[in-house]
Structure 1
Amino acid sequence: MPSIVVKALLLATLAFTHLAHSRTLTSSSPNSTSTSACPLEPGEQSSQIVNHPPTWPYQVFKSSPFTPPKLQITTNGKPLAPGLLFITPSEQSAVVATSDVAPLIMTDAGQLVFNGPIVNATNFRHATYKGKDILTYWSGLSTAGANVGHGYGNVTFLDDTYTEILTVCPKFGLVTPDNTQYPCEADLHESYTTGRDTILVSAYNATPTDLTSVGGPKDGWVFDCLFFEIEPESAKILFRWSALEHVPVIDSKQPLAGTGLNQTVPWDWFHINSVVNVGNEYLVNSRHVWTTYLLTAKGDIIWRIQGDTGGDFGPLPADAHFRRQQRHPPHQRPRTPPPPPPSNTTPVVVLKDLSDPTDPIYADSQGSTEILPNGNTLMDYGQIPVLKEYGPGADVRYTARFAADDLVQSYRGFKHEWHATPTTNPSLVVEKNGTRGAGYVSWNGATEVTAWAVYEGPSKRELGFVGRVGYKGFETMFGVAEKCVQVVALVGGKTGAKSNVACT
């Protein structure tokens, strides 16, 4: 065996010392005793920012094709909840204003963690299914015309290797305004995995209805807003609820405005936009009735809180009136117990007012509010591409903007702790400029990598271990001395997946 020698390479401002090696196919393992003394080199975070208005500034990498937005971040320095950000940027107009329409996982600092497929997606979040941590998201076609703001699609389940374990593709036999038939009929608004290994999905069905009570025709048409509880693997319907069967259309606050005349232009009188289970009951929100309903397991209304009058709870406080959206979903763990039934002595009180006086935001649609395990609250502003994390005292601790107002949206946004090791391999690119070389490595979705073991040699068949490079986020850059390079992920102190071999 040749003696160990030391080689030094200066790459721009990056100094990376390699330990030379025996160039054999049976080179030392990065975990073996003979190499344990090799230092952990720093490496360097690698990404470039591209700015081409009106597209929001985005990141580009050498080793991966993804182009996530650059987060514009402000903080007050106080502790944030642990976890990663889950968003689904999508366009709101014909203007190309975002570079990456996909389900994304990012860190608080704006580092990409996982870039999903390029699809129109909503409700990208962590869930538990059959005792295992998974990710779910809706994807499909968002419709226009009379059906604007609705969608028809499926729900994808990913395990902690990002392997697709289920595609829930429900068929409800829906009637659409133009009689188009869609392969999968889950609406984009809701796809919520319950604690009983079922999934709640919303749907919109064009339905003939007497509208004389609201000044419309007797033979009018509406969107009947439905939700279903489904067994994911078989798509078997376990429960069905219809707004039209439980709520009179005269309760709607949505004007007819020329709709409801025929099947082509149904009146969107109810607009279901969220459903969660609370124990064996259901909490359902109607945007256009300005009402949240608690339902029994059979679908009967237990109580309603209405944004204008207060509903069953009596008059609302002056600062508690609401319109359109109203949703405070329970965190996956633990689940919120069922709310008590109302009585004449159960008034509505304001528990917390979350707003940023330095950054007033007016969003007409979408959004979510998530109470985080540490007592903080994450708010996604839906139509406005902003996330804010508030502390227990309602102080604004974190703001992240990922696009310009009214051009890009994220239907909902979440924050979860998530641990994953992909089944794919890390991606490596090597570039050479004269005698200097640099390697760029990324592994889409990996959360547990602590370092990279680096192997170099004069050819693909002659690689030997030269040292380790510290993990520096989605893409790590490190110095390269030889022609060919391969890296191996170190996960929990153990050897993980290997990258491709890259040569200059």
Structure 2
Amino acid sequence: MVILRHVPLLFVAICASLPFVVADGQYRSRPDLSPPKLNITVAAPNANGSEYVFLAPYGSALQQPGAYIYRKNGDLVWSGIGYYAGFVGNFHPTTYNGEPVLQAFEGTIDSSHGEGWGYQVLLNEHYEPVATAKAANHRVPSLHEFNVIAGKTALVEVYTPTPWNLSAYGGNASQQWIGDGYFQEFDIATGDLVFEWNALDHINPKDSLIHLASSTANTGLTSATSWDFIHINSVDKSPTQGHYLVSSRHLSTIFKINGTDGRIIWRLGGSNSTFTPSPPFSFGFQHHARWHYQSPTTEIISFFDNSNDGAGQVYNNVSRALVVALDLPTQKATVVRTATAPYGISAASQGNAQLLADGRIFVNWGAAGAVTEFDAADRVAYHAWIEGEASMSYRGFVGNWTGRPKEEPAIVAYYQSAGSRLRVYVSWNGDTETVGWRFYALGSSGNNGSDTRSLGAVERSSFETVLVDWVALV
């Protein structure tokens, strides 16, 4: 078998072909892979193009949660099984040292708080590790954020259980633990700290919408049940000002933080908002705040508005992506774009909104286990569900990627009985360049004999391609 647009040759050894056995596996050539499936309800116009979907699905119904690349038609491009371990989240392409890479969090998850502990691993186009990013000052990053800045540094969020006097917030003598929210910027290559900020130095916990002992996860009695009063879930950095944009789920507030002294420059949302919504709008328990424009008088940001905390606090019945313009002189906030969830989706946790250069918005609906692409007029252009009960992905993205795996293609040949047609299955996990396959057969004399013959060529049809040809010799 030869790979079109590649030089190496692979052959089917007919004498070693396997009898056909029916099983539940998705792929004959890779029976070890069992990726989550996508249920496409609104097909994309160019579903088989070079723009891929990047997800890290998880949930009890999934056999192999982890990092995955899909075509928009649901066809698998790459399974990250064996490349990332543990809980995997925030998986997507980025740029590091001028080269395209994949990034993902791997570690453990504290499902009661929605926090985690681990680090980020960057893979190159060959799916080889090129960096393992770890926070400074002996801190262990949580799963929410890893935002590569200018291809060199990274922003991470750190959940830090901290002993604290909670009597001012209704705590008794036994309640002495609070979950402080840190974020850091550090150099990925060296680990050197650029900037660190923590919430307790700047924010009064009384502003939290999640009160002390409001759930068994927030009793404050132990480190494991620390009161998660702020719950930072995203951090961005201004390329022109050097300030930081921080989203707090449990305050329903987005903060602009001074990149020099850490003071709060402004707040959007929550109980002490700097801005007046004009016309009125509300949001809450949001994720993934990002800057898109800044001038001395105007700033434009996007974020994913959950509007639901999963425990009865609801701002809007349906989740959405928002783009908001902030008028600094008048301190007014105006919604300039809204991408509202189809099917009445309300995501009680997780989620993100990705603004694309051509005006599209790609939204991952977090705990609802779905993704939607909106066109520049905010109309639904693509929608897919992650199959499996309670399956979800913390974040989801679209983007371009060129994969050139070092692992060899997987090939297997089956026959049903002597004289039956031979079925040859081939796949190449993570490869994005192969457009077709040429198949060759070897007889018992090996590849130096005269009985090497062509079985034909087949256009690559999906993750796995099958050739049904030639009568088996056995």
1:288-330 deviations in whole A, cap 9, x for unaligned? 0111111222232221101466x11124543x21111143436
CA, structure 1 residues 31+350, in 2 after alignment: closer, same or farther (shift >3 Å)? Answer: closer
Whether the aligned pair in 1 keeps the contact of 2:277 and 2:334 (CA below 8 Å) is no
Q: Distance in 2 between matches of 1:398 and 1:391?
A: 9
Matched, 1:141 2:108: yes
Q: In structure 2, what residue type is equivalent to 1:84?
A: Y
| SS of residue in 2 equivalent to 1:383 | helix
Matched, 1:430 2:433: no
Q: In structure 1, what residue type is equivalent to 2:185?
A: E
Aligned residues: 412
Matched, 1:267 2:227: yes
Matches within 5 A, 1:100-249: 100-117=64-81, 119=85, 120-144=87-111, 148-170=113-135, 172-173=137-138, 185-217=140-172, 220-249=176-205
Q: Distance in 1 between matches of 2:180 and 2:2?
A: 66
> TM-score, normalising length from structure 1?
0.75
Matched, 1:477 2:433: no
Matches within 5 A, 1:361-376: 361-376=345-360
- Per-residue deviation, 1:172: 4.0
CA, structure 1 residues 446+143, in 2 after alignment: closer, same or farther (shift >3 Å)? Answer: same
Matches within 5 A, 1:334-349: 336-337=293-294, 340=299, 343-349=328-334
1:402-424 deviations in whole A, cap 9, x for unaligned? 1345x222000000111111111
CA, structure 1 residues 464+239, in 2 after alignment: closer, same or farther (shift >3 Å)? Answer: farther
Residue in 1 aligned with 2:52?
84
CA, structure 1 residues 28+374, in 2 after alignment: closer, same or farther (shift >3 Å)? Answer: closer
Which of 234, 252, 264 is the aligned partner of 1:301? 264
Whether the aligned pair in 2 keeps the contact of 1:84 and 1:107 (CA below 8 Å) is yes
1:367-401 deviations in whole A, cap 9, x for unaligned? 00001222111111111111111111111111101
Q: Distance in 2 between matches of 1:31 and 1:353?
A: 44
- Per-residue deviation, 1:221: 2.0
Structure 2 portions without partners, runs of 5+: 7-21, 300-325
Whether the aligned pair in 1 keeps the contact of 2:253 and 2:270 (CA below 8 Å) is yes
CA, structure 1 residues 196+77, in 2 after alignment: closer, same or farther (shift >3 Å)? Answer: closer
Q: In structure 1, what residue type is equivalent to 2:464?
A: E
CA, structure 1 residues 424+349, in 2 after alignment: closer, same or farther (shift >3 Å)? Answer: same
1:63-101 deviations in whole A, cap 9, x for unaligned? 11211223211226657896100111112xxxx411221
Whether the aligned pair in 2 keeps the contact of 1:200 and 1:228 (CA below 8 Å) is yes
Which of 42, 48, 62 is the aligned partner of 2:28? 62
Whether the aligned pair in 1 keeps the contact of 2:182 and 2:198 (CA below 8 Å) is yes
Residue in 2 aligned with 1:98?
62
Residue in 1 aligned with 2:288?
327
Q: Distance in 2 between matches of 1:281 and 1:303?
A: 11
| SS of residue in 1 equivalent to 2:401 | coil
Structure 1 portions without partners, runs of 5+: 1-26, 33-47, 51-58, 175-184, 485-503
| SS of residue in 1 equivalent to 2:338 | coil
Residue in 1 aligned with 2:306?
none
1:419-469 deviations in whole A, cap 9, x for unaligned? 111111100010012321011000000011111122212134344555432
Q: Distance in 2 between matches of 1:31 and 1:216?
A: 67
Q: Distance in 2 between matches of 1:235 and 1:49?
A: 48
Whether the aligned pair in 1 keeps the contact of 2:182 and 2:199 (CA below 8 Å) is yes
Q: Distance in 2 between matches of 1:302 and 1:289?
A: 16
| SS of residue in 2 equivalent to 1:369 | strand
Q: Distance in 1 between matches of 2:44 and 2:336?
A: 25
Whether the aligned pair in 1 keeps the contact of 2:135 and 2:156 (CA below 8 Å) is no
Matched, 1:73 2:40: yes
Moved more, 72-81 or 377-386: 72-81
Q: How big is the alpha-carbon RMSD for the aligned residues of Structure 1 and Structure 2?
A: 2.9
Q: In structure 2, what residue type is equivalent to 1:305?
A: L
Whether the aligned pair in 2 keeps the contact of 1:385 and 1:408 (CA below 8 Å) is yes
1:147-179 deviations in whole A, cap 9, x for unaligned? x311111111000111111122346445xxxxx
- Per-residue deviation, 1:264: 4.7
Whether the aligned pair in 1 keeps the contact of 2:243 and 2:256 (CA below 8 Å) is yes
CA, structure 1 residues 49+244, in 2 after alignment: closer, same or farther (shift >3 Å)? Answer: farther
> TM-score, normalising length from structure 2?
0.80
Matched, 1:402 2:386: yes
CA, structure 1 residues 28+166, in 2 after alignment: closer, same or farther (shift >3 Å)? Answer: closer
Identical pairs, percent: 30
- Per-residue deviation, 1:226: 0.7
Residue in 2 aligned with 1:250?
206
1:185-210 deviations in whole A, cap 9, x for unaligned? 22111111111411111111111223
Q: Distance in 2 between matches of 1:267 and 1:316?
A: 34
Whether the aligned pair in 2 keeps the contact of 1:30 and 1:467 (CA below 8 Å) is no
Q: Distance in 2 between matches of 1:300 and 1:294?
A: 9
Q: Distance in 1 between matches of 2:198 and 2:27?
A: 48
Matched, 1:452 2:437: yes
Residue in 2 aligned with 1:287?
249
CA, structure 1 residues 195+49, in 2 after alignment: closer, same or farther (shift >3 Å)? Answer: farther
Q: Say which one has the larger Rg.
A: 1
Q: In structure 1, what residue type is equivalent to 2:107?
A: G
Whether the aligned pair in 1 keeps the contact of 2:351 and 2:394 (CA below 8 Å) is yes
- Per-residue deviation, 1:337: 4.5
| SS of residue in 2 equivalent to 1:250 | helix
Q: Distance in 1 between matches of 2:62 and 2:107?
A: 18
1:128-165 deviations in whole A, cap 9, x for unaligned? 011100000001011255xx311111111000111111
